[in-house]
Structure 1
Amino acid sequence: MHVGFLVLLAASAVRLLIRHELDEGTVAALELAAVVGLLYSAGVLLWNRAPRPVLFGWLAGVIVCWVALVWAAPSFGFAGIPLLFVALRLLPVAAVVAVAAVLTAATAAAWGVLTGFGDPMAFVVPPALAAMVVGTVVELRREGDRRKRVIADLLRARDALAESHRRTGVLEERERLAREIHDTVAQGLSSTGMLLRAADLSWESDPERSRHLVRRAAEGVHENLAEARAFVQGGAPAPLSRGTLRRALADLCRSLSEETGIEAALTCDGELDGLPGEVEAALLRVAQGALANVREHSGADRAAVSLARIGDRVTLDVRDDGRGFDPGAPGPGGGRGFGLEAVRARVAGLGGEVTVESAPGEGTGLSVSIPVREDA
């Protein structure tokens, strides 16, 4: 736009020299055109460095000098078109309308002088062009402002969504660690404490049994360390890294029987090899939690664990003949207990279902069903 103004200014000066004799009026017009060109060039040099108020004053000075130039030599009226775009670039809409009116009037008057006021287009074309240019640029500016607001909203929404995802990830990881700690470390420490208490009670009367219980407690601590390393690293549970799910469940039942005297038995049915790792891990953790409840709360004499695969679902049932409870009643502290809620969350994450059947004095049954794809 700056180059366009200077080119039109130079072209108008050449036209003035071609069409008019070099008299005092022509020389004065050329001198004024040189002043306008120098003033405009100074503004171009300061365009990206001068503050906005200075540019406002510069544009006002250019327009005033240009109007005087047009009054002296109407040929310079066409240079008003770039000035309109410069005003659109610098000024607010209300000021642009005022500048457009001044530029349009000067251009129409210059055209009228050149045509002897006999061409009605002199009074139609400049206002029409000015109106179209101003309307188009103003609408483009508004559309640009709307897009900037939309982009800003999208960026804020993106940042909020990213923060939400981060918080969700933190909460999910915290919940995962809480479940793993509850199903491994907490239960292992509880079992170790029971073994050590039993060893202390029999230390005088049966030293051999006490030593056996202490060895079992040490093995439990070692197992818990392996489990802690596994879930911190996000790997498979330690028992599954050493063998199959069937073997891990059998070891759980044997440990329960040896440590508490509760008769625990495992039955398996169906094709259980090749289950997805996350399904095996979930079933093992559920069994660990259920048998820990049998150990600590049920007062049972017998417990039965059954694992079966029927079609595209694998089921795990853990039942005991203990004291039972009311599943609808709140647990200690007014809650339902973290263990059962952790089981539900773990199984729900795999699209499975959890059923609890119990009543006071009638034992407890926990049933878990998880879908398994045939091509898993």
Structure 2
Amino acid sequence: MEVCHRPGVRSGVGILESAVGEGFAAALQAGLSRATVNGLHCGPPTHPAAASGLPSPTADHDRQTPQATPSAEAQAADALWNERRRLAREVHDEVGTPIGLALRRLTLHEAAVGDPSGHLGVVYEALAQAERHIAQLVGGLRTQTEVPLLKDAVLNFAVRAAPADVKLSVRSTGQERDLPDSWRREIFLAVRECLRNSFHHASAGRVSVVSRVTRRWMYVRIEDDGRGFESSSPLPVPHEGHGLRSMAERIEALGGRLAVRSAPAVGTRVEIHVPVRPYP
């Protein structure tokens, strides 16, 4: 079926662009293209921690398979977290911003020339609804990638991963949110690897996690009274060696440093220093 346009009657896009500026529709479409979801599921996750790439409190694989290497799962969680954060930015900047600009231009245009036909009012309401939906989408993506405070994340992980006879203490001071979320997430993933080693490999009876944030540094100490190892050897045993290397790489990528001190039958101490600001 052919659709014929009567001469002199402008399309809805033409009416809109006459008010908000020529090229708006093309700019909006370009923004939508740049914010492509690429097949990512954007609905609410089964649990916020799962969406953030942090452990879900309903998962129990850490307790059931302590020897498993979580590299593939960790990589998938990293990719999902980063993609959701990217998508939130792109939708806000490339789609939300043009719509907000259009709404402002519509308001100015209506104030100047009025809206005798009522078309602009309909367009305004449609754009306002789209803006509200975009705000909900971006807010949902941000919520799904929230990074809990380190103390909360550690306790959540310990609930399902720590053996019943292990005594865990966690203390935290300072303004942890002075660091970017992505940095705090990396720090927690390093701490989580330390806890895995303490819970499943070190036969520890006591484990402590202490974190402190100052104006210049975030410091974290993870200490256990487990069997320990000879710290002069960089990789004590194969399955722990990969974990230590992964922890160090995560912290070094943030401009920080990770130190491991241990001795047989004495226990292990891991210290993490990450700059709150990369430059003085």
Compare relative contact order (CA 8 Å, sep 6+) and give the higher one, 1 or 2: 2
* TM-score, with structure 1 as normaliser: 0.37
Q: Choose between structure 1 and 2: higher helix proportion.
A: 1
Taking structure 2 as the reference length, the TM-score comes to 0.49
